[in-house]
Amino acid sequence: MFDPTKKVLIVDDMSMIRRIVKQSLAEIDYKNVIEAKDGQEGWNLLNVHHDDISFIISDWNMPVLTGIEFLEKIRTSENVKQIPFIFLTAEADVSQIKQAIDRGADNYVLKPFSPASLKAKIEQTYTKVKGRIAA
Partner 1 sequence: MNAAKKIKDPIFHLSLPKKIDDTTLNNFFSQKPADHIREVHLDFSLTEVVERTFYQSLYRLKRELSTDNIELKSFNISKSVQSQFHESGTESFLNIVKKNNSRLVDVHFIQPFINATVNVLQVQAKLECKMQTPTLKSNFKIPYDVDIAGVLSLVSDAFMGSIALSFPKDSFLKICSIVYGMEFTSIDEQTEDAAAEFLNMIFGGAKAELNKDRNYNIQKALPTVIRAESLNLRQYSAESTLTLPFQTSAGPFHIDIEIVKKT
List residues near partner 1 by CB under 8 A.
Answer: 14-17, 19-20, 23, 61, 89-93, 111-114
Residues 6 or more apart in contact with residue 122 via CB below 8 angstroms? 1, 2, 28, 30, 55, 86
CA distance 105 to 66: 14
**Smaller CB distance to partner 1: residue 47 or 114?**
114
**Smaller CB distance to partner 1: residue 54 or 107?**
107
**Smaller CB distance to partner 1: residue 47 or 117?**
117
**Smaller CB distance to partner 1: residue 13 or 72?**
13
Burial of 12 (0-12, 13-18, 19+ CB in 10 A): buried
Helix (H, G, I), strand (E, B) or coil at 59: strand
Q: Please, what is the minimum distance in Å from the beta carbon of residue 101 to partner 1? A: 17
Q: Compute CA 35 distance to the chain's CA centroid, rounded to the nearest angstrom.
A: 11
Q: Please, what is the minimum distance in Å from the beta carbon of residue 26 to partner 1? A: 10
* Contact criterion met (CB below 8 Å) for 114 and 84: no
Q: Please, what is the minimum distance in Å from the beta carbon of residue 111 to partner 1? A: 5
Q: Please, what is the minimum distance in Å from the beta carbon of residue 83 to partner 1? A: 25
